[in-house]
Amino acid sequence: MCLAIPMQIESIDGFTARCQAKGVWRDVSLFMMQDEPPAVGDFVMVHVGYAIQKVTEADARTAWELFDQILEETRA
C-alpha cells in the first residue's frame, strides 16, 4: 500500500505526536510504534494518520551496491 509520507515529530503527548511535513501539521497516532517508540525530532512514515515505521538512514539502495563494494575491496 502506498500513500504514506515521512513527517517529523515536533512534540509527543501520550500516543499522539504533533508532526510536520513542509509547513503542514497533523496529529499522528504512535499507537503502532509501541515496540520502538520514536522521539521528538525523529522522522516517521505516516499512513492514514498512523505512524507505521521510523525512517532510518539506509546505506544502500540495492544489495548489488554492497556486493560490488565487497568485490572491489577483494580485488584491491
Partner 1 sequence: MNDTRILLAHGNGGRLMRELVTELFARHLGNPLLDTDADAVTLPPLDGEPMVTTDGFTVQPLEFPGGNLGSLAVHGVVNDLAVAGADPRYFTLSALIEEGLELAVLDRLIASFAAAARENGVAVVAGDTKVVRRGEGGGLYLMVAGIGVKRAQAKLAIESIAPGDVVLVSGPVGDHGIAVMLAREQFGLSGELRSDSASVLPLARAVRDLPGLRFMRDPTRGGLATVCHEIARACGHTVTLEQERVPLRPEVVSVCEMLGYDPYFLACEGRIVAVTDAAAADTVLEHWRALPQGAGACRIGRIESGNARVILETGLGGRRVLDELEDDPLPRIC
Partner 2 sequence: MTDTSQAWLEKIRAFDFERTIKIMNVCGGHERSITHSGLRGALPEWLELIPGPGCPVCVCPEEDIYQAIRLALQDRAILVAYGDMLRVPVNVPKGDVRTLAEAQAAGADVRPIASPTEARAIAEANPDRQVVFFAAGFETTTAPVAALLAEGVPDNLSILLSGRLTWPAVAMLLGSFESSPASPGFDALVAPGHVSTVMGPEEWNFVVEQHNIPAAVAGFGTESLLAAFYSLLRQLKTGERFLDNCYLEVAHPGGNPTALRMMGAALDVVDANWRGIGSIPRSGYALKPAFAQHDARLRFPDHADPGRRRAGEMPPGCDCANVVLGKIYPNQCRIYGRACTPRHPIGPCMVSDEGACRIWWASGVRVAADA
Scan residues 12-41 and list those touching partner 2 (CB under 8 A): 15, 27, 29, 31-36
Q: Is 11 helix (H, G, I), strand (E, B) or coil?
A: strand
Q: How far is the CB of 52 from partner 1 (least distance, A)?
A: 11
Across the chain, where does the E strand assignment appear?
4-13, 16-21, 24-29, 43-47, 50-54
From 34-42, 43-51, 55-63, 68-76, span contacting partner 1 (CB under 8 A): 43-51
Site residues (CB under 8 A) for partner 1?
1-3, 5, 21-27, 46-49
